[in-house]
């Protein structure tokens, strides 16, 4: 604590200073200060005060430098944050662009896939039609007069042969004319035809239910009344009359008509 003595000279303002009736009073005021500049003191006390002033200045300078450092740090942090934020935004923009590109490519791939799927379906359909045509060629569909004929390449029972014909949209051949008889025996093959007496022995009917009116039985045929020969085949194809009755479970080639 520092002390400062103050002396105040009191005298009336409207009187000269030598006015005898005047009263000169001196009031000593003593105040207590926490700092700075006392007016009157000895040299030692003044030196101590100068030292303290220097300390305050050093402290003030240090405080100022600290404030500057803090300000610089704050500016650096804000700058880095701003920079980082800017880079983050740039990265986000790049990612968004990449995402948009990928989405676009995905849509294009989807479109290409749909087109390819459509082309595949068309090719599949064409393949099916070509296979059918090829099946006709390979499986020996032959046109004669107003009918198509299929001659099998394997042997089956009469009923299995008929089932195969039906699966092909046809049935075992019905020989309606001499020309058709000549055509079928001209194939030079033993073949089941669509004629049977399975329902009534001795009563031969075509597979469409019509009775047999004109026949081409070989000599001594049909002879299976006692041996259960209920299905007809072309057997003696070198003869004009070429038919034979045979057990229906025998295996033979066959001819379909549609
Ligand atoms: Ca016919
Ligand atoms: Ca019979
Ligand atoms: Ca026979």
Q: What is the pLDDT of residues 239-251, one digit of tens each?
A: 999 999 999 999 9
Q: Residue 83's pLDDT is what?
A: 83
Please state the domain extents for the chain: 1-40, 41-138, 141-257
In angstroms, what is the span from residue 209 Cα to ligand 1's centroid? Answer: 13
Class of domain 141-257: alpha beta
What local confidence, expressed as pLDDT, does residue 147 receive?
A: 95
pLDDT at residue 253 is higher than 90: yes
Query: Which pLDDT does position 44 carry in this prediction?
Result: 62
pTM of the predicted structure, to 2 decimals: 0.50
3-state secondary structure the chain: CEEEEEEEEECCCCCCCCCCCCCCEEEEEEEEECCCCCCCCCHHHHHHHHHHHHHHHHHHHHHHHHHHHHHHHHHHHHHHHHHHHHHHHHHHHHHHHHHHHHHHHHHHHHHHHHHHHHHHHHHHHHHHHHHHHHHHHHCCEEEECCEEEEECCCCECHHHHHHHHHHCCCEECCCCCHHHHHHHHCCCCCEEEEEECCCCCCCCEECCCCECCCCCECCCCCCCCCCCCCEEEECCCCCCCCEEEECCCCCEEEEEEC
Q: Is the predicted pLDDT of residue 8 greater than 90, yes or no? A: no
* 229 alpha carbon, closest ligand: 2
Q: How far is the CA of 104 from the centre of ligand 1 (A)?
A: 64
In the reported structure, the alpha carbon of residue 173 is separated from the centroid of ligand 1 by a whole-number distance in angstroms of 6
Could you tell me which residue, 136 or 95, shows the higher pLDDT? 95
Give residue 210 CA to ligand 3 midpoint distance, Å.
Answer: 21
Query: How far is the centre of ligand 1, averaged over its atoms, from the C-alpha of 103 (Å)?
Result: 65
Q: Per residue in 104-122, pLDDT tens?
A: 999 999 999 999 999 999 9
């Amino acid at each position: 604590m520092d002390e400062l003595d103050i002396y105040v000279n009191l005298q009336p303002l409207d009187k000269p200073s030598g006015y005898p009736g005047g009263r000169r009073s001196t009031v000593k005021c003593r105040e207590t200060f926490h700092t700075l500049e006392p007016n009157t003191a000895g040299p030692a006390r003044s030196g101590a005060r100068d030292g303290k002033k220097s300390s305050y200045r050093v402290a003030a300078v240090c405080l100022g430098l600290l404030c500057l450092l803090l300000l610089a740090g704050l500016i650096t942090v804000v700058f880095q944050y701003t920079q980082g934020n800017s880079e983050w935004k740039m990265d986000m923009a790049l990612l968004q662009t990449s995402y948009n590109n990928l989405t676009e490519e995905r849509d294009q791939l989807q479109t290409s896939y749909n087109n390819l799927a459509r082309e595949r379906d068309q090719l599949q359909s064409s393949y099916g039609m070509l296979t059918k045509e090829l099946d006709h060629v390979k499986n020996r569909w032959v046109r004669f007069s107003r009918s198509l004929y299929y001659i099998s390449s394997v042997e089956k029972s009469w009923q299995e042969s008929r089932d195969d014909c039906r699966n092909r949209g046809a049935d075992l051949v019905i020989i309606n004319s001499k020309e058709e008889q000549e055509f079928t025996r001209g194939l030079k093959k033993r073949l089941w035809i669509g004629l049977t007496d399975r329902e009534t022995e001795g009563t031969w009917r075509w597979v469409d239910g019509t009775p047999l009116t004109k026949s081409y039985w070989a000599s001594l045929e049909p002879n299976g009344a006692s041996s259960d020969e209920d299905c007809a085949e072309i057997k003696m194809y070198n003869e004009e009359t070429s038919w034979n009755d045979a057990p229906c479970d025998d295996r033979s080639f066959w001819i379909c008509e549609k």
